[in-house]
Structure 1
Amino acid sequence: MAYDPDFGTWVEEHFAALGPLTIKRMFGGAAVYADGLVFALLDDGVVWLKVDDLNEPELRAAGALPFTYPGKDGRMMTMAYWSLPDTALDDPDEAVRWARGAMEAAVRKASRKPLRPR
């Protein structure tokens, strides 16, 4: 994974309609947070959006690709993130629609996690 801060600036501008975002470096890439939840990853100039069973089919139909990486045993591993569709790269309104779906997926995932005792 690789993160370019200039790409992070572009993401913040492209997704400005979502409100304030926080981008934090992680594992060579970066995570994009809104309201304290990760809804996207940034890696090598690609925006990877959080998916679940509800928004993954829509992203697949729009030509998005799954986030994959080689595992230690050589098998390809996947994560619950899919690329921002190419049509949204030049259209901030479309990009924000996809990002909102990713934010909803992040909220659904967070709501399924049991609360940690204090």
Structure 2
Amino acid sequence: MNEFAEELHDVFERFGRISLRRMFGGHGVFHEGRMFGLIAGGRLYLKADAETVAFFEDRQLPPFEYQRQGQTARISYYEAPPELFEDRHEAALWAGRAWEAVLRAGAPKPAARRARPSTGSPG
């Protein structure tokens, strides 16, 4: 795990316990088993939704973008403001907004279960 990713445990100490998992060529940042942040290209991105995207856009913070099949794709994560790394109160505030967006998105969708073949009528 790189030093930047490991530093996030301290950055988000006022928000709560986080865990990191390698993914997307970077790391996912998780709280209570749900991803609220993403580290890619040496930058931290936080989850946003219709209720929180204005906080990011007002600060002109860019969305996370990647290339897929020759097209630029976006997911609902925006770059975290730089002061988050210097001010634990700000870090908790921005992490809280990202976490609320995760919660509003609802429970993660479970993997589809395979239907079991029927063995006839009970009896």
Q: Deviations over 1:53-80 (max 9, x none)?
A: 000111111231100112212x211111
The equivalences for 1:38-53 within 5 A come to 38-53=35-50
Does 2:74 align with 1:78? Answer: yes
1:31 partner SS: strand
List aligned pairs for 1:1-118, cutoff 5 A. Answer: 5-73=2-70, 75-111=71-107
TM-score normalised by length of structure 2 = 0.81
Corresponding residue pairs, total: 113
When residues 78 and 90 of structure 1 are mapped into structure 2, their CA distance, relative to the original with a 3 A threshold, is same
More helix per residue: 1
Give SS of 2:5's match: helix
Decide whether the 8 Å contact of 2:11 with 2:84 is kept in 1.
no
* Unmatched runs of 5 consecutive residues or more in structure 2: 114-123
TM-score (norm 1): 0.84
Equivalent residue number for residue 121 of structure 2: none
Partner SS for 1:18: coil
Root mean square deviation, CA, Å:
1.9
Pair 1:37–1:76, CA change in 2 (3 A): same
**Unaligned runs of at least 5 residues, structure 1:** none
The separation in 2 between residues aligned to 1:57 and 1:24, in whole angstroms, is 28
SS at structure 2 position matched to 1:63 = coil
The structure with the larger Rg is: 2
Using the TM superposition, give the Cα deviation of residue 117 of structure 1 relative to its aligned residue in structure 2, in angstroms: 7.4
Task: State the one-letter code of the partner of 2:91.
Answer: A
